[in-house]
Amino acid sequence: MMAEYPGALDSIIRETVQQKGGIDIDGDARASLAIRAGMLTELFEVGGEGLPHLNPGLSVERQIEAWLDAGAVADARRLLAHALPPRHAMWWALLALVEAHGRVPYPDKVVEAFTGVRDFLLNPSEEARRACHDLAEAADASSAGGAIGYAAFLSCGSMAPPDCPPVLPKAHLCGHLCGVAVYLASVQFDPIHYKEHNAQFVRLGLRVARGELALPDQPARAAELPAAAPELVREVARADRASAHRASF
């Protein structure tokens, strides 16, 4: 059953999702943390750091925490990106990208892609979704704007031109690209210490999944994003440092 939005999904997306078997972009983020990690680790290659600490029977949330504790940050990020429903994954990636932009500004075309994805999250219409494709192309497919823009385009609906029969994306592509966007945000923030920032962004994503950082639900909140995101990430960083300090005693 499709979720209701203040700006409801338009008829084209509803028809594609409900009648053609497409992706529901919302879903239950909290429930996604409770499923077995082994159901998702088949979608990506677990790295050398994470493999010794992989327990397919653990919940997604517990496996992510185990990987973070072991320093296998890349695998924790990949698992969370594949677990989150698309709309939550895009919101997480956008928060990370805006934080990175506050530290080291992105080019205008990349920022325009971020804005397009923000607009799509606020009003997930077919027009906004296809606009994200064009913004991703303009930003460069290999850039952070390309990653998040294509993630939005592949989050639901058809990949084919509007006048062609629907061609549906694979369900994991949006999450995969959101994970790439979070990685790129970590590198943009600090190329030398990117792993530390990547871990902070993963913990930020866990807060999104737990409902502690609600998704934007009305256009008036759009203007809050650039101002709010840096403080949210700093809050997560402070919590991480406090946890590490307690563990040292």
Reading the chain (249 residues) residue by residue, the pLDDT tens digits are 233 333 333 343 344 334 333 445 778 899 999 999 999 998 899 999 999 999 999 999 999 999 999 999 999 999 999 999 999 999 999 999 999 998 899 999 999 999 999 999 888 888 999 999 999 999 999 999 999 999 999 998 889 888 888 888 888 899 999 999 999 999 998 899 999 999 999 999 999 999 888 776 644 333 344 434 444 444 444 444 443 333 322
Question: Contact 218/116 with Cβ under 8 angstroms?
Answer: no
68 located within any domain: no
- Which residue type does 159 have? M
Number of domains into which the chain is organized: 1
As given in the structure block, the two tokens for residue 136 are: 């991703």
Q: Which of 68, 83, 82 is nearest to 29 (CA)?
A: 83
92 located within any domain: yes
Tell me whether residue 129 is exposed, middle or buried, using C-beta atoms within 10 angstroms of its C-beta: 0 to 12, 13 to 18, 19 or more.
buried
38 located within any domain: no
What b-and-e string marks burial along 30-59, b requiring 16 or more CB atoms within 10 Å of the CB?
A: eebbeeebeebbebbebeeebeebbeeebb
80 located within any domain: no
| Dist. CA 16–CA 57, nearest whole Å | 34
Contacts from 124-127 at CB under 8 Å and sequence distance 24+? 124/5, 124/7, 124/9, 124/13, 124/25, 124/87, 124/156, 125/7, 125/9, 125/10, 125/13, 126/10, 126/12, 126/13, 126/157, 126/162, 127/10
112 located within any domain: yes
54 located within any domain: no
74 located within any domain: no
Region of 140 on the Ramachandran plot (φ > 0 left; ψ -120 to 50 alpha; else beta): left
| Dist. CA 6–CA 149, nearest whole Å | 22
6 located within any domain: no
| Residue numbers of the domain that contains 187 | 11-27+85-247
